[in-house]
Amino acid sequence: MEMRDVFVSYHGDISILNGLSLNIPEGKITGIIGPNGAGKSTALKTLYGFLKPQRGEIRLAGERIDGLEPYQFIERGIAYVPQNRSLFNDLSVEDNLRLGCWVFRKDKPRMERALERAYAQFPILKQKRKDMAGSMSGGQQRFLELARALALEPKIVMLDEPTAMIAPKLSQELYAFIKALPEQGVTVILVDQNVRQCVNVSDHVYILELGQNKADGAAADFKGDSRMREMIAEWLDYKID
């Protein structure tokens, strides 16, 4: 997937993305970091068709996809877990998972396979399958959102701050799960405020600032005594262990 020189605004001509370019290689984890308001979430919303670029283009395997609607992204095997909770709190865990299978709801065997896979990946969801989604902890709800997205067997998953406001232990589990997704053939785009964890799980990292590319490099370049590490410390006032 590729974003080339994209300009996007929410209102009128106040541009939030200002010529942003991202290259998302298949089977890898691409991390996107940057200060608050840099446009990270806006970049994901644009990649997923919620916002239409005023300029620039987005391609998937060569096909222009920047005019498509979000449901057409699902059809192309792209899933998106937004920053804010997206569950139906008053429905059971299992019903939330079933809703994630909506596009293939008539294929009952496939739906059952998807549920079994979700329960195998996240045993806590099996234990709680009859509980209301809203009654679970924040971390468990995140697992459910991720499981629901993966029920589609997506080729690409976009995750917006998946561990925000989650207890450290569950957060570690979630990062370990995300890191293993490429082994299942899933390409990951990870927006994260947690710079250290993002660098640890990603193969390649982009730094955004004011809706533009500030820098990018292989995750290894961000570690040790590197220029990237110094840059992050300077711009974001973050430290990477």
Ligand X SMILES: Nc1ncnc2c1ncn2[C@@H]1O[C@H](COP(=O)(O)OP(=O)(O)OP(=O)(O)O)[C@@H](O)[C@H]1O
Amino acid letter, 80: Y
If one asks whether residue 41 binds ligand X (CB under 6 A), the answer comes out as yes
Maximal CA-CA distance, the chain: 54
Which of positions 162-221 make contact with ligand X (CB under 6 A)?
A: 193
Rounded to whole angstroms, the Cα distance separating 63 from 76 reads: 11
If one asks whether residue 37 binds ligand X (CB under 6 A), the answer comes out as yes
Binding ligand X (rule: CB under 6 A), the pick from 3, 8, 22, 38 is: 38
> Which of 39-47, 66-74, 98-106, 230-238 is the region at the interface with ligand X (rule: CB under 6 A)?
39-47
Comparing C-alpha atoms, which of 32, 30, 52 is closest to residue 40?
A: 32
If one asks whether residue 142 binds ligand X (CB under 6 A), the answer comes out as no
Residue 8 bridge partners (DSSP): 17
Q: Where are the alpha helices (DSSP H) in 31-188?
A: 40-47, 70-75, 93-100, 108-121, 123-127, 138-150, 168-180
If one asks whether residue 29 binds ligand X (CB under 6 A), the answer comes out as no
In the block, tokens 């533009």 appear at 212
Question: Residues with Cβ < 8 Å from 45, sequence gap 6 or more?
Answer: 51
Q: Structure tokens of 166?
A: 């989650």
> Which of 35-43, 72-80, 132-140, 147-155 is the region at the interface with ligand X (rule: CB under 6 A)?
35-43
If one asks whether residue 10 binds ligand X (CB under 6 A), the answer comes out as yes
The nearest distance, CB 35 to ligand X, in angstroms, is 7
Which C-beta is closer to ligand X: that of 36 or that of 183? 36
Comparing C-alpha atoms, which of 38, 44, 37, 53 is closest to residue 22?
A: 44
Which C-beta is closer to ligand X: that of 81 or that of 111? 81
Amino acid letter, 195: V
If one asks whether residue 34 binds ligand X (CB under 6 A), the answer comes out as yes
If one asks whether residue 16 binds ligand X (CB under 6 A), the answer comes out as yes
Residues that bind ligand X (CB under 6 A): 10-11, 16, 34, 36-42, 193
